[in-house]
Amino acid sequence: MAKKAGFDEMTREDGTFREVYKRVAAWLDQSPPEMLASRRNQAELMFRRIGITFAVYGDKDATERLIPFDIVPRVLGRSEWVRLEAGLVQRVKALNLFLADIYGKGEILRAGIIPSDIIYRNPAYRPEMAGRPVPHDVYVHIAGVDVVRVDENDFYVLEDNARTPSGVSYMLENREVMMRLMPDLFAAHGVAPVEDYPDQLLASLRSVAPAGTGRDPTIVVLTPGQYNSAYYEHSFLADKLGVELVEGRDLMVSEGLVYMLTTQGPKRVDVIYRRLDDDFLDPLAFRPDSALGVPGLMSAYQAGNVTLANAVGTGVADDKAVYTYMPEVIRFYLGEEPLLKNVPTWRCREKDALAYVLEHLPDLVVKEVNGSGGYGMLVGPHATRAEIAAFAQKLAADPNNFIAQPTLSLSTCPASFPSGISSRHVDLRPFVLSGADGVRVVPGGLTRVALKEGSLVVNSSQGGGTKDTWVIDDAALS
């Protein structure tokens, strides 16, 4: 098996296997290449039959694609997961308090912890939400926190996804495919379940229904429609939740209440799990040319008559400049030290930081503060001189729009290819649910894998794939 520099999650530096991976390593050693090839082909066929695809915006052919799936599971011990889960819960609690504060009293701004212009000039900041409390003070109902591992003990947060994080359908489908393909290997590990995620999501959504709704609130999933890149996930989740999948044209607002148009007449809606960006939610409040939203939705929302998950204006927490202040945010609101580390980051808006970044571009990763999906970034060690020179001009012209980070040595996991088993870099997106009754995290998440050898870019839009993530009882292994 080809080895990689840095921390490998299966193999120690001396060539021995970590306890949690010993059974996987034995399985790989005993599996002939033709059997692994058959499993890879079966997995692809299953995903094609399921119809789980995505589209990449800007593609000339605009074709739907399968996200490549790797059949070798990523394995985490329960003791590792418990540490990670505690850090995730802490971080999302702080994010909710932060959003409630910046749209409320603004205490963190008055204290000088975060410069006010980072918030008020942020394109994701919604002044319409200022002074408008949300039901049960929960802003980020569903968070996708991207983390990477760099050694035996340390996980770093790469970014917080607080608007409409995607990928949970892949987490659930990956698990189902692995249980079908490798039932014996799966059963031998006693893997913690993720299949109850829809039940946990439904419980969280029910808990944040507006006061006076009753025990059985009406919940819907709002989608932009079948041409959205994540439409499969929208329909998948609606089906798993047992709720209606609706588009804007299926909803109406009357006398401050939201209704779903049905064959039996209008039915009041209490909670909307929206997979639609703020700009398109309501043509009367935001973009007047939006045909995807619901006229008057914001007025019903601001009156407290409907819950939107996630809340309007949560995009401020996605901002990579705000990310750099998260350790201070956690200390300010919770009085605790962060359990998960931030990646060391230079804020290019600061003169000294900009000078350092421009001088060390070949060694750094530079990102747009509002960028996502691997776009608009420079990976210095993998860039050409011409690309670095062009990016330096863009950075110097608008430094406020960028942050820079060192190139982390992301952990690697084994992956299966026609050429054999080889290590590839991975990250992890756990999904954190916040409701009026607390915070929930399913054990695992979506592992994304950089399928190109040596690449650090795991995004599906950039050619990355996915893996099933197993959390197992490592205490039982010793």
Collapsing DSSP states into helix, strand and coil, what is residue 277?
Answer: coil
**Position 137, amino acid:** D
Residues 6+ apart with CB under 8 A from 383: 362, 391
Task: Using alpha carbons, select from 346, 318, 18, 310 the residue that is nearest to residue 164.
Answer: 310
Q: Measure the N-to-C terminal CA separation of the chain; round to a whole number of Å.
A: 26
Q: Where are the domains of the chain?
A: 19-210+306-339+426-477, 344-406
- Rounded Cα distance, 340 and 424, in Å: 23
Tens digit of each residue's pLDDT (9 = 90 or more) over 349-406: 999 999 999 999 999 999 988 766 556 789 888 889 999 999 999 999 999 999 999 9
Tens digit of each residue's pLDDT (9 = 90 or more) over 10-32: 999 999 999 999 999 999 999 99
For the chain, give the number of residues: 478
What is residue 408's predicted lDDT score, i.e. its pLDDT?
81
The average confidence (pLDDT) of the chain is: 91
Provide the pLDDT confidence category of residue 3 given band limits of 50, 70 and 90. Answer: very low
Please report, rounded to a whole number, the percentage of residues in the chain having pLDDT higher than 70. 94
**Position 80, amino acid:** E
Task: Using DSSP bridges, classify how beta strands 378-379 and 364-368 pair: parallel, antiparallel or unpaired.
Answer: antiparallel
Provide the pLDDT confidence category of residue 476 given band limits of 50, 70 and 90. Answer: low
Residue 388 CA: distances (Å) to CA of 361, 401, 410: 7, 17, 22
User: Please, what's the b/e burial string for 30-49 (b: 16 or more CB within 10 A of its CB; e: otherwise)?
Assistant: ebeeeebeebbeebeebbee
Provide the pLDDT confidence category of residue 4 given band limits of 50, 70 and 90. Answer: very low
Task: Using alpha carbons, select from 320, 302, 287, 275 the residue that is nearest to residue 122.
Answer: 320
Task: Using alpha carbons, select from 153, 24, 15, 26 the residue that is nearest to residue 468.
Answer: 24
What is residue 418's predicted lDDT score, i.e. its pLDDT?
93
- Rounded Cα distance, 76 and 415, in Å: 16
* CA angle (33, 39, 45) in 5-degree steps: 140
The label of the residue with tokens 């990449």 reads 56
Tens digit of each residue's pLDDT (9 = 90 or more) over 32-66: 999 999 999 999 999 888 877 655 545 555 556 67
Tens digit of each residue's pLDDT (9 = 90 or more) over 419-449: 999 999 999 999 999 999 999 999 999 999 9
Q: What are phi and psi of 101, to 5 degrees?
A: -75, -45
What is residue 460's predicted lDDT score, i.e. its pLDDT?
66
Can you name the residues that pair with 429 across neighbouring β-strands?
A: 446
- For 344-406, give the CATH class: alpha beta
| Cα-trace Rg, the chain | 23
What is residue 57's predicted lDDT score, i.e. its pLDDT?
46
Provide the pLDDT confidence category of residue 118 given band limits of 50, 70 and 90. Answer: very high
404 and 352 in contact (C-beta within 8 Å)?
Answer: no
- Rounded Cα distance, 296 and 135, in Å: 18
Mean pLDDT within 128-153: 94
Tens digit of each residue's pLDDT (9 = 90 or more) over 53-101: 655 545 555 556 678 999 999 999 999 999 999 999 999 999 999 999 9
- Rounded Cα distance, 429 and 445, in Å: 5
pTM: 0.92
Please report, rounded to a whole number, the percentage of residues in the chain having pLDDT higher than 90. 81
What is residue 271's predicted lDDT score, i.e. its pLDDT?
98
